[in-house]
A = this chain, B = another copy of it.
Amino acid sequence: MRIVTISREFGSGGRELGKRLADELNFDYYDREIIDTIAHNTGTDPNYVFTVLENHGWKNIPLTFRQSVKSPLTVQYAQTELLIEQKRVIEEIAKHGNDCVIVGRNADVLLQDYCPFNIFVCADVQAKIRRCMERATQDENLTPKVLKRKMQNIDKQRKQIRDILTGSKWGEPHNYHVTINTTDWEIKQLTPAVTTIVNRWFGRKQ
């Protein structure tokens, strides 16, 4: 089984790279699917799970949000519980045995016994803002300033959660096999090159 993990700065195009890579390699692809499974298993709302795990992070359990969400079940899970469930879901994916690309959620560390190929994706702030603005819907009404703040908050969270859970630094190049700066790339043009690296990596090990 071959597992590729992608960790990424918000807006760097890491998710698009993951999707395209999975398509080119003919691997399964996991991203929001993990959130949906956690929500299903814990009987919570996927938006709640997403917000707790992705946007608000480790330290601040968003009580107001928790109270405002109408979950199909009455139990709302705290962040630690959701993180434990997330770990379980990711381990289940690996046990399933299919080749796959997993985006985010510290899968590189959680699945290290499976020797995944780990990619980190970064980009310059301006490039990330440009990428997000292109993808934003009109009614999101995002300004570059708002986006920049959002970007910094989310990355800070990702960094914090990783530091606490894994003791391994987020974005530090020694913790990944390859780190790609997408600033001057179209993800579409970059993907075949990354596919080659992944193929050589797994070819090397066989």
Contacts and interface: CB of A to CB of B under 8 A. Distances in A.
Nearest to A205: B184
10 contacts: A123-B174, A173-B181, A178-B181, A185-B204, A186-B204, A190-B200, A192-B200, A193-B193, A193-B196, A196-B197
A17 to B, nearest CB: 13
B177 A181 contact: yes
A173 B177 contact: no
Interface residues on A, range: 20 to 34
A178 to B, nearest CB: 6
Interface in A108-143: 120, 122-124
Interface centre among A123, A124, A197 (most CB of B within 10 A): A197
Copies held by the complex: 2
A137 to B, nearest CB: 28
A180 B120 CA distance: 10
Contacts of A173: 120, 122, 171, 173, 179, 181
A178 B177 contact: no
Given A173-B181, A174-B122, A179-B179, A200 B204 contact: no
A171 B176 CA distance: 14
Contacts of A183: 174
Nearest to A118: B181
A29 to B, nearest CB: 22
